[in-house]
Amino acid sequence: MATRYTKDHEWIRLDGDVATVGITEHAQNALGDIVYVELPEVGKQVEQGGEAAVVESVKAASDVYAPVSGEVVAVNQSLDGAPATINEDAEGKGWFFRLKFAAPDQLDGLMSEEQYKEFLKTLE
Protein backbone atom coordinates (compact mmCIF):
# COMPACT_ATOMS: atom_id res chain seq x y z
CA MET A 1 0.00 0.00 0.00
CA ALA A 2 1.68 3.16 -1.21
CA THR A 3 1.12 6.33 0.77
CA ARG A 4 1.16 9.68 -1.00
CA TYR A 5 1.29 13.18 0.48
CA THR A 6 0.04 16.67 -0.38
CA LYS A 7 1.62 20.07 0.24
CA ASP A 8 -1.31 20.74 2.59
CA HIS A 9 -0.08 17.86 4.80
CA GLU A 10 -2.71 15.26 4.01
CA TRP A 11 -1.79 11.65 3.39
CA ILE A 12 -3.65 9.16 1.22
CA ARG A 13 -3.16 5.40 1.31
CA LEU A 14 -4.52 3.19 -1.43
CA ASP A 15 -6.22 -0.15 -1.07
CA GLY A 16 -7.59 -1.15 -4.45
CA ASP A 17 -9.91 1.64 -5.64
CA VAL A 18 -10.53 2.89 -2.10
CA ALA A 19 -8.18 5.36 -0.44
CA THR A 20 -7.88 6.29 3.23
CA VAL A 21 -7.15 9.95 3.99
CA GLY A 22 -5.78 11.72 7.06
CA ILE A 23 -3.41 14.45 8.15
CA THR A 24 0.31 13.92 8.60
CA GLU A 25 2.37 13.69 11.75
CA HIS A 26 3.80 17.11 10.83
CA ALA A 27 0.29 18.62 10.60
CA GLN A 28 -0.90 17.27 13.96
CA ASN A 29 2.32 18.55 15.58
CA ALA A 30 1.72 22.01 14.15
CA LEU A 31 -1.92 22.02 15.27
CA GLY A 32 -1.26 20.88 18.82
CA ASP A 33 -3.99 19.25 20.92
CA ILE A 34 -6.89 18.39 18.63
CA VAL A 35 -10.29 18.96 20.24
CA TYR A 36 -12.82 18.52 17.43
CA VAL A 37 -13.14 17.00 13.96
CA GLU A 38 -15.88 17.69 11.44
CA LEU A 39 -16.04 14.74 9.05
CA PRO A 40 -17.72 14.69 5.64
CA GLU A 41 -21.00 12.86 5.06
CA VAL A 42 -20.80 9.38 3.57
CA GLY A 43 -21.85 9.71 -0.08
CA LYS A 44 -20.42 13.24 -0.43
CA GLN A 45 -18.58 13.91 -3.68
CA VAL A 46 -15.29 15.72 -3.10
CA GLU A 47 -13.03 17.38 -5.62
CA GLN A 48 -9.25 17.16 -5.57
CA GLY A 49 -8.01 20.10 -3.49
CA GLY A 50 -11.52 20.84 -2.21
CA GLU A 51 -12.45 21.07 1.45
CA ALA A 52 -13.46 17.67 2.80
CA ALA A 53 -13.21 17.94 6.59
CA VAL A 54 -12.31 20.37 9.38
CA VAL A 55 -9.97 19.76 12.29
CA GLU A 56 -9.88 22.07 15.31
CA SER A 57 -7.16 22.29 17.91
CA VAL A 58 -6.60 24.51 20.92
CA LYS A 59 -4.59 26.76 18.55
CA ALA A 60 -6.62 26.90 15.32
CA ALA A 61 -9.19 25.41 12.99
CA SER A 62 -7.88 24.01 9.74
CA ASP A 63 -9.48 22.59 6.61
CA VAL A 64 -8.59 19.12 5.46
CA TYR A 65 -8.55 18.90 1.67
CA ALA A 66 -9.26 15.91 -0.54
CA PRO A 67 -6.00 14.68 -2.12
CA VAL A 68 -8.03 13.20 -5.01
CA SER A 69 -11.59 13.50 -6.31
CA GLY A 70 -14.09 10.84 -5.37
CA GLU A 71 -16.97 9.71 -3.20
CA VAL A 72 -16.72 9.45 0.58
CA VAL A 73 -17.52 5.81 1.41
CA ALA A 74 -16.60 5.76 5.12
CA VAL A 75 -15.68 8.13 7.95
CA ASN A 76 -13.77 7.43 11.15
CA GLN A 77 -16.64 7.68 13.66
CA SER A 78 -14.32 6.98 16.58
CA LEU A 79 -12.85 10.50 16.16
CA ASP A 80 -16.14 12.01 17.34
CA GLY A 81 -15.52 10.92 20.90
CA ALA A 82 -11.75 10.82 20.77
CA PRO A 83 -10.27 13.51 18.47
CA ALA A 84 -6.94 13.18 20.33
CA THR A 85 -6.49 9.88 18.44
CA ILE A 86 -5.17 12.10 15.64
CA ASN A 87 -2.42 13.42 17.92
CA GLU A 88 -1.56 9.89 19.05
CA ASP A 89 -1.59 8.14 15.67
CA ALA A 90 -2.08 10.66 12.85
CA GLU A 91 -1.04 8.29 10.08
CA GLY A 92 -2.81 5.22 11.49
CA LYS A 93 -5.87 5.08 13.77
CA GLY A 94 -6.36 8.84 13.33
CA TRP A 95 -7.53 8.56 9.71
CA PHE A 96 -10.43 10.85 8.69
CA PHE A 97 -12.32 9.31 5.78
CA ARG A 98 -12.19 6.80 2.94
CA LEU A 99 -12.78 7.68 -0.70
CA LYS A 100 -13.71 5.65 -3.73
CA PHE A 101 -11.60 7.68 -6.09
CA ALA A 102 -12.60 8.72 -9.56
CA ALA A 103 -9.33 9.55 -11.31
CA PRO A 104 -6.30 7.41 -10.38
CA ASP A 105 -4.03 9.65 -12.51
CA GLN A 106 -4.54 12.40 -9.88
CA LEU A 107 -2.24 10.38 -7.64
CA ASP A 108 0.65 11.09 -9.99
CA GLY A 109 0.77 14.70 -8.82
CA LEU A 110 1.15 13.74 -5.14
CA MET A 111 4.43 13.28 -3.28
CA SER A 112 6.03 10.02 -2.20
CA GLU A 113 7.18 9.74 1.41
CA GLU A 114 10.74 10.70 0.38
CA GLN A 115 9.50 13.71 -1.59
CA TYR A 116 7.32 14.79 1.35
CA LYS A 117 10.27 14.58 3.75
CA GLU A 118 12.28 16.77 1.37
CA PHE A 119 9.34 19.20 1.13
CA LEU A 120 9.21 19.46 4.94
CA LYS A 121 12.89 20.48 4.99
CA THR A 122 12.00 23.48 2.82
CA LEU A 123 9.54 24.67 5.49
CA GLU A 124 12.03 24.78 8.36
Task: Supply the CATH number for residue 109's domain.
Answer: 2.40.50.100
> What are 79-96's pLDDT values in tens digits?
999 999 999 999 999 999
pTM for the full model? 0.95
> What are 30-53's pLDDT values in tens digits?
999 999 999 999 999 999 999 999
Task: Name the domain count of the chain.
Answer: 1
> What are 14-28's pLDDT values in tens digits?
988 899 999 999 999
> What is the percent of the chain where pLDDT is above 70?
99
Domain that holds residue 96: 3-121
Q: What is the pLDDT of residue 1?
A: 61
Q: How far is CA 102 from CA 4, 36, 52, in A?
A: 16, 29, 15
Q: What angle do CA 80, 74, 58 make, to 5 degrees?
A: 30
